[in-house]
Amino acid sequence: MNSKPHILFVPCILLLLMLIHSCENEISYNGGETTPKLTMNAFIYVDSLKNKLYLSMTGETTIQSVSNSVVEVRVNDELKETLNAIREEGTQLRTVEITTRFQPGDVVRIDAYTTDGEYHAWIQETVPHPVEIQQIDTSQVVVMPKPFYAYDKSLRVKVRFKDEVDKKNYYRIVLEQRHHVKGGSAGMPMSADLKDYTYWPWEDIALTDGRPATSEELNADIFERVTNIYGVFDDSWFQNNEYILNLQIPMRNRYYSSELGFVPQYLDLDLVVRLLSITEAEFYYLTTMNMIDSDILDDYINDPVKIPGNVHGGNGFVGISSEKGKMIRLVDNGEIQYADPYR
C-alpha cells in the first residue's frame, strides 16, 4: 500500500537534529562556532516506488544549504543507484528520489558525499520483515452528542496479528480514515476527499507500554503522560505470540458547506489499517518524537532532549520500514447528518 501517513517528519525536525551526533553521542553547544555536518533525513517505505531523501548542512541556529552532492544506494554490498542531489526550490535542502526496490532482509547502505570530497555521511539498516494483519474487528461506541460538534461517536478497532518469532520486533500502527463526501451546489454535483489519522491509543497495553488509562484517569493525573502520537510499540508484551491491538477512532458525522464549498449529502468512508515493521532506530526516534510532540517538556526545567539518530559521519535519521495493510468499508453511500452553524 503506497499511501503514507499525513505526518511528514523530515522538514520539521532538521533543526532539532543539529543537536545530535548519534544515538550515543551529543554535540555540545558552547555558543561558539561549531563544525558543520552533513545531515541526511528520510523515511523509506519498501512498497513505495519513490522515496525522497533530504540533505542539508548543520548551522549554529538554522540549517544551511549543502553544496553539490551525490547519493549512492547499495543493497547487500551491490551498488544500485548513483543520484545527483537537486536543490529543493524555496528551501535550503537538496533531495534525491530513491527508486531502488528493497526486499525484507536486504542490508541497505546509503552514502551521501559532497562532490568536493569534504563531507561524507552514511547509514546502514536491514529491511524488517512485514507481518500480516490476520483480522480486523470493529464495534461502535456512542458518546454524548454535542450541538454542531463534528464527532458524537467513536469506533473501537481491534487489530490481530502474529509477532515474528525468535527475534526482537518493532512496530508502528497507522489508522487512516478516507472520507469521500458527495453533494452539490447550485444544482451541480460536487465531491471532496478528506483524510483523518486521529486515533485513541490509551486502551492498549503495548501502545501505552503497560499503562492503559481511561480519559478520567488521564485528566486526574498530576503529571501529563506522553501520548503515543506515532503509534509505535515493540513486542515486549507479546513476544512470539499473537496480539490484538485495541484502538478507538472518532466517527465524524457532520460535514459543513463552509468547509467543503458545497452542501454535503452522502458519504463513502473507508478505514485503512497499516501495520509497519520498523527498525530499532526508528522505534527510538519516534518514541522521542512522541515525547517532544506531546508538548510535556518545559524549556526552563527540562534538559535538552537527545534525539536518536543513525547517520554515521554526520547527523540525521533515515528509517526503513515494510508493511502490510487492509482496507474495510465503514460507510457505503450513507446519508450525512448535516448541520452548518455558518449557513
The 10s digit of each residue's pLDDT in 208-218 is 999 999 888 88
Please report, as a single letter, which amino acid is at residue 274: R
Q: Each residue of 31-49: pLDDT tens digit?
A: 444 688 999 999 999 999 8
Lookup result for grid cell 478507538: 248
Average pLDDT over the chain, rounded to an integer: 85
Lowest mean pLDDT segment, chosen from 33-47, 179-193, 212-226, 290-304: 290-304
Instruction: Please report the pLDDT score of residue 17 as a whole number.
Output: 45
Q: Are 157 and 204 in contact (CB under 8 A)?
A: no
Pairwise CA distance, residues 31 & 278, whole Å: 36
79 three-state secondary structure: strand
Which candidate, 272, 276, 280, places its Cα nearest to that of 323? 276
Q: Which three cell numbers stand for residue 221?
A: 493525573
Q: DSSP string covering 183-249, please?
A: EEETTEEEEEEEEE---B-TT-TTTTTT----HHHHHH-SSPPPP-TT-EEESTTTTTSEEEEEEEE
Instruction: Please report the pLDDT score of residue 304 as a whole number.
Output: 59
- For the cut 70, the answer to whether the pLDDT of residue 301 exceeds it is no
Lookup result for grid cell 548551522: 59
Pairwise CA distance, residues 166 & 158, whole Å: 25
Pairwise CA distance, residues 92 & 67, whole Å: 10
Pairwise CA distance, residues 131 & 230, whole Å: 18
**Domains by residue range for the chain, with CATH:** 10-129+279-322 (2.60.40.10), 133-277+326-335 (no CATH)
Per DSSP (E only), the strands in the chain are 38-45, 51-57, 69-75, 78-84, 86-87, 94-98, 107-114, 120-126, 133-142, 151-162, 170-185, 188-196, 232-234, 242-252, 263-278, 315-335
Pairwise CA distance, residues 73 & 123, whole Å: 10
Contacts of 245 (CB under 8 A, 6+ apart): 157, 158, 159, 160, 161, 173, 204, 206, 207
Lookup result for grid cell 532539532: 16
Instruction: Please report the pLDDT score of residue 150 as a whole number.
Output: 54
Q: Which residues of 280-300 are buried (b: 16+ CB within 10 A; e: fewer)?
A: bbbbbbbbbbbbebeeeeeee
Pairwise CA distance, residues 229 & 170, whole Å: 16
Lookup result for grid cell 468512508: 269
Which candidate, 73, 92, 76, places its Cα nearest to that of 84? 73
Model confidence, pTM = 0.84
Q: Which three cell numbers stand for residue 256?
A: 459543513
Instruction: Please report the pLDDT score of residue 217 as a whole number.
Output: 85
Q: Which three cell numbers stand for residue 12?
A: 520539521
Q: Each residue of 212-267: pLDDT tens digit?
A: 998 888 888 777 788 999 999 999 999 999 999 999 999 887 888 888 999 999 99
Instruction: Please report the pLDDT score of residue 16 as a whole number.
Output: 47
Q: What is the mean pLDDT of residues 120-126?
A: 97
Instruction: Please report the pLDDT score of residue 340 as a whole number.
Output: 67
Where is pLDDT greater, at 259 or 147? Answer: 259
Tell how far CA 204 is from the center of its chain: 19
Which candidate, 69, 57, 72, 125, places its Cα nearest to that of 95? 69
